[in-house]
Structure 1
């Protein structure tokens, strides 16, 4: 099954493959975030511009993310999203420190979208942005979400209930009049193009692409927190948060990769087909980093290969562990009810079927698809504990749960 991505009022099935997105996992938590309603930076504009002053004392660098670039001048940053949506041309944004002059829109900056930063209001098209906002302590900047139904974050849901955050696409169609009337500093996309975005751009709304889902590694996806930090002026906080995630992920991977690999079966069927992650996908990378392997780990490419159930049974019938991602599965009986042929897998017969549906929100949203993007260390922690329990005694799972008999 394709990876569902929460947008609008439903889960949008995107092209990669299957189970593990970036959820969250086994390391320790990063340092406590600032209070949800408190901004982590002074957002006042510069009142006395000095051309010789460097207005970005903390400069971010990208180590894992490859779908956007970030460079600095003294009073502005240049962000280029290489693929804002599948097949789309690159988009460039000039993030100008408020109160300082924007550069001339010539050369590489011709046609770039200019955004004054730090922004004070953000409309978000995807629940995957929300963990970045809360980790950076700038939840007070969030003014709108496409749809609140699938949000799992209690902090965000509280603000929606209080009327501090509004829905602007509750019927899966953007209410352009509502957005234009609110005039947010930025509307951040979900990594796909929408016909409404053209209308918003013409009305002067800065539409900034977030296409983290096109990254090929879990850490690459999580590093998009630095784009949110560039917009909100929270670079120091982002370095702290991501640095802890990165180091915890690396420490877990070193331990797990030293163990004997465990053969796993990733995913499940969707509408009669099984999207098997290729070896170069972020899913394949997570499995490898967790000390696992699967019969299609050598398949090149970062996407997925579509298989029928017979082909999966032929290649992975004897896999020791089945890692699924089905919200509705809580028992082995649910699995068999979905398709009786599932009972032929060894992992089903031995009861080693796990699904990333432990952390569900009241509206049916799954935190695996929300917080997971920001916390691949926690996803990896769950996977290491499942595949190599001896390496993680006493581990409390964040996203995965074992299906009961």
Structure 2
């Protein structure tokens, strides 16, 4: 049972979290109390961020630098009215900017952060790729559970040194978050109708929205590694990682250019165990839908499918819509996909499913790929390309999406 009375130490930890003081809560390692790169000779007007991020692809966030502090402004994807969220990141050892005017409602965080909780699997992939997994002191129960069945998650948890459970993103354990001296909680920012980040902030917790899955373009999604990197003063590393992703991504697109122009494809879910009553497919406004278009394929589920997360189709509508399809990407694990196809003969009406002309999630590393594919979009686009045009990638198999054996 969750306790209702917080100890004094937890209240002190809350103050530390909300002002950005590093690692002062119980459970935080001693070496996190005073980061080595804290400023000891502050001088007004000096630039304390020699490495800077520039937003090139994203439509949902931006960053500005102000000497000893920086501001990140991003679209509040939980707000149907399109409001903004502001985070003020100020260098350890320098004055905290005044919470006034446009900054009155901002979340103030002292950087570089050293005690981080994570409930977003996309954000965890970014933290890991930046080499900052050792700062993770708290994880949602779902992410910790994944460590019991996935080698990548297990490695991240080991690198983190045994992070504590902080509940789930829809029901955070406030006492656990406070007790860890958490400076930020990296959370998934989904669309209108979700309120995970809003509820965390309303409860006085330092929730940060990582909304990369709401981007329409794959490279824009990957660029969120720069946003996460800014909390670590790791803009240089984040820039390098993004440039590497973009280079590989562009190479695949150039290789496939024109080769799949006559392919009718779709991105869909079929497994009832994962919430698909029959078919749930992505249209042209989703990241996967735009990825198909980027490769030059026609998305059979694009007409009338404007939702940012796609929409469900019943049997008759799905069969009619996908009548000309010759290739599918199924985003269920392969085992569940094959189970669904065996259990429901209606799927034989879809030519790609009947003929095995599809790729589905690789069972062996499904959870790892679920965390990484919206960051490692170079891997994602290569998997799509190998599935549609295997002749262009002789001897290669997909990493996260593979054809049935």
The answer for unaligned runs of 5 or more in structure 2 is: 1-31
1:246 aligns with 2:246: yes
Query: What's the counterpart of residue 335 of structure 2?
Result: 329
CA apart distance, 1:384: 0.7
CA apart distance, 1:314: 1.3
RMSD of aligned residue pairs (Cα, Å): 2.5
TM-score scaled by length of structure 1:
0.81
Matches within 5 A, 1:204-223: 205-223=205-223
Query: What's the counterpart of residue 381 of structure 2?
Result: 380
* Cα distance change, pair 285–335 in 1 and its aligned pair in 2 (3 A): same
Where 1:241 maps in the other structure, the secondary structure is helix
CA apart distance, 1:126: 1.5
Query: What's the counterpart of residue 175 of structure 1?
Result: 173
Contact conserved, 2:358 with 2:387, CA < 8 A, in 1?
A: no
Matches within 5 A, 1:254-273: 254-261=254-261, 262-269=263-270, 270-273=275-278
Q: Deviations over 1:231-282 (max 9, x none)?
A: 0111100010000101211121122232142112321344435333221221
Residue among 193, 196, 200 paired with 1:197: 200
Q: Could you tell which deviates more after superposition, 369-378 or 267-276?
A: 267-276
Residue among 22, 34, 41 paired with 1:48: 41
Q: Partners of 1:302 and 1:237 in 2: how far apart?
A: 34
The answer for unaligned runs of 5 or more in structure 1 is: 1-38
Query: What's the counterpart of residue 13 of structure 2?
Result: none
Query: What's the counterpart of residue 133 of structure 1?
Result: 127
TM-score scaled by length of structure 2:
0.81
Q: Partners of 1:101 and 1:276 in 2: how far apart?
A: 50
1:344 aligns with 2:346: no
How many residue pairs get matched?
356
Matches within 5 A, 1:43-82: 43-82=36-75
CA apart distance, 1:343: 1.0
Higher relative CO (Cα under 8 Å, sequence separation at least 6) belongs to 1
Query: What's the counterpart of residue 284 of structure 1?
Result: 289
Q: Partners of 1:236 and 1:380 in 2: how far apart?
A: 25
Q: Partners of 2:296 and 2:150 in 1: how far apart?
A: 30
Q: Partners of 2:125 and 2:96 in 1: how far apart?
A: 30
Query: What's the counterpart of residue 3 of structure 2?
Result: none
* Cα distance change, pair 268–139 in 1 and its aligned pair in 2 (3 A): closer
* Cα distance change, pair 335–139 in 1 and its aligned pair in 2 (3 A): same
Q: Deviations over 1:2-35 (max 9, x none)?
A: xxxxxxxxxxxxxxxxxxxxxxxxxxxxxxxxxx
Q: Partners of 2:187 and 2:179 in 1: how far apart?
A: 18
Q: Partners of 1:308 and 1:298 in 2: how far apart?
A: 15
Q: Deviations over 1:43-93 (max 9, x none)?
A: 521000011311111111111111112111111110112124253732111
Q: Could you tell which deviates more after superposition, 50-59 or 254-263?
A: 254-263
